[in-house]
């Protein structure tokens, strides 16, 4: 990038709290060492026609499993350049004519990265919990089970040290198992009573029965700060292990990152610790079964036991809370009462076939509460045997994953919709055009594209600020929606460019009416929060199959027609090749 470009982009990004670091690369082979510094976003000015370079960058990121968005910043903003860059693996294409859009693009892509990371981490945590449940049911002793838990947690969350301690009657905390830099534990003493060594995260978590997160430079961590520094520890989180309303121990985690234990992470770790409490109790000797039963009854995860035929004979309160059915309604009923009706008979047949063979069945289910609302659960069913090795019961565990499913839906939505307006983005619009082409070929029908570009939008942005510009774009989106039918598609391509797909509408008069309606609606005054503004629109129209039979060419025709409308005086429309009367009552032909 030129020094002037770097200065412009640095100023834009600083407003959003980001720093721009530049690297001049002779070739993409130097990229691996540069990206080892863990950039959040890669912003490149490689010319779009050099899509091979973008493709190499994309392949490198996939190979290294680095979730780093790639943004292309270029002076070439024609359709071909954009398509080439996106096909090569770019996440977004930003025209140098609109550098302010870099900030919103970076924020959007970083949000998507965070959501994908949270979803990935949650999926791995769910898998770990399922494995722990399986080991518990296999009868593992407490110590081997806890050692395996510590090892897996350290690996799963990339932690420096993980240990589980038991609350002792003399005020001390005994280390039951640990993984990571365990030598650190030999240099410290931890207590939960009122002594000076009880003020750290572990002691406080046991006493308060609440999670405690601290940075090593916090005053409360002073007794252990020097030892922590030798092992590169910068933050810690202690989670109480609670049963019967009392702390029985603590799970303590240490990270090299200062931001490892933010509010969202702590929330996920609390769920894990609650499950871990139940698991540890379940691994006790047979004579402690009463304790396990009480803990399961209080668990936030729904647990129930059925007969061989599926009749429910035991369940905890969480099942009633989760489903909305009373204990009286659940007892002696069958799990079918929670069915949402979303699955074919073959699905249930396969599930029963699995568990009747003595295998554990695990999967996501969409259930229905008593009030009719839907909720998602991660369910596992484990066969239980009698002394002769015959299956007599089934143990079912259900974890509410409705928030996880909602996160998945949000991520999918962000991938195909414009964050600002909620309209379909370029990716989804291209898919809609391909569908329209397939349908038109099959039904021998026609359709049209309207490329809409706003006249005067830049002046609004420059004069009144980007907040006003964003508000204006949202209002334009609403007006465009109001001008078309429900089956048509309005999309935002970026900046102040929109595009409309009109199905089964190709007659000149019909297109004129829609174009005039859009121009009329766009030209009406806009009452923004800070001001009142006026803008107009220039529209280019292309038709399938008369003007083109390929989606890319069809959009290109509409784009060129739009520029012709602008050259003719703006606030008008033009059709590719066909004479069309513009708003200024000028007859012309592309």
For the chain, domains (ranges, CATH) are 3-99 (3.40.50.2300), 139-290 (3.30.450.40), 302-404 (3.30.450.20), 417-588 (3.30.70.270)
Residue 290 has a pLDDT of 45
Residue 137 has a pLDDT of 64
CB of 500 within 8 A of CB of 480? yes
Alpha-helix runs per DSSP H in 389-540: 402-416, 426-443, 457-464, 466-483, 508-523
CB of 2 within 8 A of CB of 29? no
Residue 415 backbone zone (phi > 0: left; psi -120 to 50: alpha; other: beta): alpha
Residue 583 has a pLDDT of 39
CB of 102 within 8 A of CB of 71? yes
* Residue 59: φ, ψ to 5°: -65, -40
Give the number of residues written for the chain. 590
* Separation between Cα atoms, residue 519 and residue 508, nearest integer Å: 16
Question: Which residues are CB-contacts of 268 (< 8 A; sequence separation ≥ 6)?
Answer: 118, 121, 122, 125
- Residue whose C-alpha is closest to residue 469's, from 454, 481, 483: 454
- The separation between CA 529 and the C-alpha centre of its own chain, rounded to angstroms, equals 31
Sign of the Cα pseudo-torsion (251, 252, 255, 259, in order): positive
Sign of the Cα pseudo-torsion (508, 514, 517, 522, in order): negative
Give the strand pairing for 70-74 and 92-95. Answer: parallel
Residue 481 has a pLDDT of 94
Radius of gyration of the chain (CA): 31
Would you state the structure tokens that stand for residue 47, as one six-digit string?
């010319």
Residue 240 has a pLDDT of 93
CB of 544 within 8 A of CB of 436? yes
Residue 573 backbone zone (phi > 0: left; psi -120 to 50: alpha; other: beta): beta
Cis peptide before 545 (omega within 30 of 0): yes
Which pTM value belongs to this model? 0.43
Would you state the structure tokens that stand for residue 289, as one six-digit string?
């079964």
pLDDT values of the chain reduced to their tens digit, one per residue, 590 residues = 677 888 888 888 888 888 877 777 666 566 666 666 567 888 887 665 567 777 777 787 877 777 888 888 887 777 777 788 888 888 888 888 888 888 888 888 888 887 787 777 777 777 776 777 776 666 666 778 888 889 988 988 889 999 999 999 999 999 999 999 999 999 999 999 988 888 899 999 999 999 999 999 999 999 999 999 999 999 999 999 987 788 889 999 999 999 889 888 888 888 888 877 777 776 654 334 444 555 566 677 899 999 999 999 988 888 999 999 999 999 999 999 999 999 999 999 999 999 999 999 999 999 999 999 999 999 999 999 988 899 999 999 999 888 888 888 888 888 889 989 999 999 999 999 999 999 999 999 999 999 999 999 999 988 999 899 999 999 999 999 999 998 899 999 989 999 999 987 656 778 889 999 999 999 999 999 989 999 999 999 999 998 999 999 999 999 999 999 999 999 999 998 754 444 333 333 33
- The separation between CA 118 and the C-alpha centre of its own chain, rounded to angstroms, equals 7
* Separation between Cα atoms, residue 379 and residue 322, nearest integer Å: 13
Residue 571 backbone zone (phi > 0: left; psi -120 to 50: alpha; other: beta): left
- The separation between CA 443 and the C-alpha centre of its own chain, rounded to angstroms, equals 38
């Amino acid at each position: 990038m030129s020094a002037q470009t770097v200065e412009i982009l640095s100023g834009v990004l600083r407003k959003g709290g980001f720093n721009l670091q530049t690297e001049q690369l002779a070739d993409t082979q130097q990229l691996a060492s540069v990206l080892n510094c863990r950039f959040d976003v890669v912003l490149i000015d490689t010319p779009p026609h050099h899509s091979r370079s973008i493709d190499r960058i994309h392949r490198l990121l996939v190979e290294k499993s680095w979730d780093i968005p790639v943004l292309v910043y270029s002076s070439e903003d024609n359709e071909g350049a954009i398509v080439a860059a996106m096909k090569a693996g770019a996440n977004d294409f930003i025209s140098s004519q609109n550098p302010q859009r870099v900030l919103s693009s970076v924020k959007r892509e970083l949000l998507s990265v965070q959501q994908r990371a949270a979803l990935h981490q949650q999926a791995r945590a769910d898998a770990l919990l399922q494995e722990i449940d399986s080991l518990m049911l296999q009868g593992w002793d407490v110590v081997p089970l806890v050692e395996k838990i510590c090892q897996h947690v350290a690996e799963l969350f990339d932690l420096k040290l993980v240990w589980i301690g038991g609350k002792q009657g003399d005020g001390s905390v005994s280390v039951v198992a640990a993984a990571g830099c365990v030598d650190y534990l030999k240099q410290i003493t931890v207590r939960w009573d009122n002594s000076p060594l009880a003020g750290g995260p572990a002691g406080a978590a046991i006493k308060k029965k609440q999670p405690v997160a601290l940075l090593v430079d916090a005053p409360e961590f002073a007794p252990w700060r020097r030892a922590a520094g030798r092992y590169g520890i910068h933050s810690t989180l202690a989670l109480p292990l609670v049963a019967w309303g009392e702390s029985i121990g603590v799970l303590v985690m240490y990270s090299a990152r200062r931001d490892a234990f933010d509010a969202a992470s702590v929330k996920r770790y609390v769920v894990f610790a609650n499950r871990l409490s139940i698991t540890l109790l379940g691994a006790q000797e047979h004579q402690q079964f009463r304790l396990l039963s009480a803990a399961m009854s209080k668990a936030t995860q729904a647990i129930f036991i059925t007969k061989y035929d599926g009749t429910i004979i035991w369940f905890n309160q969480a099942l009633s809370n989760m489903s909305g059915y009373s204990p009286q309604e659940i007892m002696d009923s069958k799990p079918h009462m929670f069915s949402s009706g979303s699955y074919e008979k073959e699905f249930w047949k396969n599930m029963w076939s699995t568990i009747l063979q003595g295998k554990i069945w695990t999967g996501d289910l969409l259930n229905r509460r008593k009030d009719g609302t839907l909720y998602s659960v991660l369910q596992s069913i484990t066969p239980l045997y009698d002394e002769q090795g015959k299956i007599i019961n089934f143990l079912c565990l259900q974890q509410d994953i409705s928030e996880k499913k909602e996160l998945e839906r949000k991520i999918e939505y962000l991938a195909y919709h414009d964050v600002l307006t909620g309209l379909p983005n370029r990716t989804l619009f291209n898919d809609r055009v391909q569908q329209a082409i397939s349908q038109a070929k099959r039904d021998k029908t026609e359709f049209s594209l309207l490329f809409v570009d706003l006249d005067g939008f830049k002046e609004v942005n420059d004069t009144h600020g980007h907040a006003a510009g964003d508000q204006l774009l949202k209002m334009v989106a609403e007006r465009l929606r109001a001008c078309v039918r429900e089956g048509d598609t309005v999309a935002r391509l970026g900046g102040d460019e929109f595009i409309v797909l009109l199905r089964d509408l190709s007659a000149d008069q019909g297109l004129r009416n829609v174009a005039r309606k859009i121009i009329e609606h766009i030209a009406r005054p806009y009452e923004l929060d800070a001001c009142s503004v006026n803008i107009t629109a220039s529209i280019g129209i292309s038709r399938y199959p008369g003007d083109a039979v390929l989606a890319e060419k069809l959009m290109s025709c509409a784009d060129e027609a739009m520029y012709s409308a602008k050259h003719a005086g703006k606030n008008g429309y033009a059709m590719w090749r066909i004479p069309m009367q513009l708003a200024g009552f000028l007859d012309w032909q592309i």
